[in-house]
Amino acid sequence: MKQRIAALLQEAITNLVVAGHLPADLPTPELTRPRQEGHGDFSTNFPLMAAKAVGRAPRILAADIQGALGHSPWIERVEIAGPGFLNFFVADSALLGLIPEILAAGKHYGELPRKSTKILLEFVSANPNGPLHVGHGRGAAYGDSLGRVLACAGYEVQREYYVNDAGRQMDILALSVWLRYMEAAGTTLVFPETGYRGAYVQDIAHALREKVGDTLQRPLSDILIEAGDQDPDALTDARIARLKAALGTQYQDLHGFGLKAMLADIEDDLKAFGVHYDRWYSERALLESGAIERALDRLRAHGDLYEEGGAQWFRATHYGDEKDRVVVRENQVTTYFASDIAYHLDKYERGFDGLIDVWGADHHGYIPRVMGALTALGLKPEQLQVLLVQFAILYRGGVRAQMSTRSGDFVTLRELRAEVGNDAARFFYVLRKSEQHMDFDLDLAKSQSSENPVYYVQYAHARIMSVFRQVEERGLGRGDLAQCDFTLLNTPEESALIRTLDRYTEVIEDAAAAREPHQVAYYVRELASNVHAYYNAHAFLSAPTGLREVRLALIGAARHVLANGLGLLGVSAPETM
């Protein structure tokens, strides 16, 4: 409906221009949904925006346009309001065609025409050095819903998880697993502060021991050398180096075992959370393919690399970053940043029209250097959009909970899912705008889960399904759509419900454009509200024949939109509750 009204408005303005009543150079008219109910279904502030260019008072200009609009079956009336708004009131009859349209499209209703835009969406990409925690859960829920919304809006979306399987943190995991493995074999030791202390490390160690027996045992004193005056990080690196030397080629078995176990856990966790990926992209594979060297060579050829202190630096300051960044360390090992340059180069070379990275907000300082590197490589940085997901601050018993992978003191996504359920967790996450700091009260989410707004929406869907079950049981039948007289739907509740249904495709479009799946969550809640109000105000089964069929058609349409909207959020639409 919005497009129809927009077209009418544009036509009226064009006619005035052609007739010489308006200059040709005017701002583009915008049509919005007013907040205030009395302001109609659509509103434009065009007279306000164009008043200066036209040289006429806004309300006078509004009257001119109102006169040029003429009559349309879609519009009941057009009002001039406030300082010069034009408010459009859509005729109820114009909206009734929507119901059979929704029923015909069913689960595909809301899918917008395909756009020829290919988007690569990367999200979560948590290091596989521990289970996903509730902070990752937010990124997962947001990224996945965004992917679904974009796909629904017609974009071609590829979803990717970048696996950081090559860095130092994975070596620390390997060391941690090995120490627990030695413990499992009966060795007593003091577990280092810098290691990963979570219980999952012990689980991996036990599984490892079952698989390889004692073959990875080495004298502890060879590895767990004492600190001396070394700082903890240097000590950890020294221990890793010794472990690598002691295990030789077997180190890869250890490293690979820990990685595989963690990755399997993460993959399984996300899958159970309804989050799916098209590709798991390995940093190590990138390294082994020589892609990093190629990317660095390209920067070098462009004069953007230099050597200092034995390390290779990228001239990030030339591209707006606050300092230059190391890409190859003094010890000749490339940095994570070097990998990421190569990874993003690869993304560009794969021919996408748009790249979206969903990052935790703690990585925000990383954006300028990545954008800088892309510019240096001769790529268009504006093709990459980095979306930051703010931290979820956890409260347990009114006290802020710590989130540390190292100490193992964190609430895992798996625990959250088990305690509050996938549907509630996903809805809760996506109800907040991603860049908004979020307080996650675990006690509230757990103990009052039945008051979670997700049930409000699901209940609306289940209620409709229940009505349809009774229709079947009583042998009433749903009637023939072609025979229906939809003009019988004339109560305020019906009018409100139809108007909300009419907004659905606009919500998809807006949510996709703004990368804001929370808009869908708010919409679906509002739709549920309309459904509940309707349900309480009017009878379906006992309505007279004729009226009954059109009412059933209306709630049938509402049911599809509820289910489709929930689907975009990765939330189920149950038949019963």
Backbone angles phi, psi at 509, to 5 degrees: -60, -45
**Smallest separation, CB 495 to RNA (Å):** 13
Among 13-21, 100-108, 134-142, 355-363, which window interacts with RNA (CB under 7 A)? 355-363
Q: Which residues, 95 to 154, sit near RNA by CB under 7 A?
A: 127
Residues present in the chain in total: 577
Q: Which class for 152: exposed (0-12), middle (13-18), buried (19 or more C-beta within 10 A)?
A: buried
Q: Does 470 bind RNA (CB under 7 A)?
A: yes
Q: How far apart are CA 300 and CA 118, in angstroms?
A: 30
From residue 423, give the alpha-carbon distance in Å to each of 44, 463, 523, 571: 38, 18, 17, 5
Are 473 and 78 in contact, with CB atoms under 8 Å apart?
Answer: no
Among 148-156, 244-252, 265-273, 306-314, which window interacts with RNA (CB under 7 A)? 306-314
Contact code string over 20-59 relative to RNA, x by CB under 7 A: ----------x-x-xxx-xxx--x-x--xx--x-------
Are 560 and 103 in contact, with CB atoms under 8 Å apart?
Answer: yes
Q: Does 250 bind RNA (CB under 7 A)?
A: no
Token pair recorded at residue 396: 């347990």
**Smallest separation, CB 316 to RNA (Å):** 11
Token pair recorded at residue 516: 């804001």
Q: Does 435 bind RNA (CB under 7 A)?
A: yes
Q: Does 577 bind RNA (CB under 7 A)?
A: yes
**Smallest separation, CB 104 to RNA (Å):** 24
The residue among 27, 92, 55, 100 whose CA lies nearest residue 494 is 92
Which is nearer to RNA, 264 or 541 (by Cβ)? 541
Q: Using CB under 7 A, which of 173, 224, 387, 431 touches RNA? A: 431
Among 183-191, 202-210, 346-354, 357-365, which window interacts with RNA (CB under 7 A)? 357-365
Q: Does 404 bind RNA (CB under 7 A)?
A: no
Which is nearer to RNA, 182 or 299 (by Cβ)? 299
**Smallest separation, CB 217 to RNA (Å):** 28
Among 159-167, 259-267, 268-276, 294-302, which window interacts with RNA (CB under 7 A)? 159-167
Q: Using CB under 7 A, which of 269, 509, 516, 549 touches RNA? A: 516
Q: Does 213 bind RNA (CB under 7 A)?
A: no
Q: Rounding to the nearest 10 degrees, give the CA dihedral for residues 166, 172, 177, 178.
A: 100
Are 313 and 360 in contact, with CB atoms under 8 Å apart?
Answer: no
Q: Does 335 bind RNA (CB under 7 A)?
A: yes
The residue among 88, 414, 392 whose CA lies nearest residue 271 is 414
The residue among 560, 555, 543, 456 whose CA lies nearest residue 497 is 555
Contact code string over 164-193 relative to RNA, x by CB under 7 A: x-xxxx------------------------
Residue 80, beta-bridge partner list: 86
Total binding residues toward RNA, as defined by CB under 7 A = 89
Which is nearer to RNA, 87 or 500 (by Cβ)? 87
Q: How far apart are CA 97 and CA 103, in angstroms?
A: 10
Place of tokens 């990874």: 343
Q: How far apart are CA 430 and CA 418, in angstroms?
A: 18
Q: Using CB under 7 A, which of 396, 499, 515, 532 touches RNA? A: 532
**Smallest separation, CB 518 to RNA (Å):** 6
From residue 127, give the alpha-carbon distance in Å to each of 72, 122, 163, 484: 59, 14, 7, 57
**Smallest separation, CB 505 to RNA (Å):** 16
**Smallest separation, CB 215 to RNA (Å):** 28
Q: Could you give the 3-state DSSP secondary structure of residue 312?
A: strand
**Smallest separation, CB 329 to RNA (Å):** 3
Among 184-192, 254-262, 292-300, 427-435, which window interacts with RNA (CB under 7 A)? 427-435
**Smallest separation, CB 212 to RNA (Å):** 26
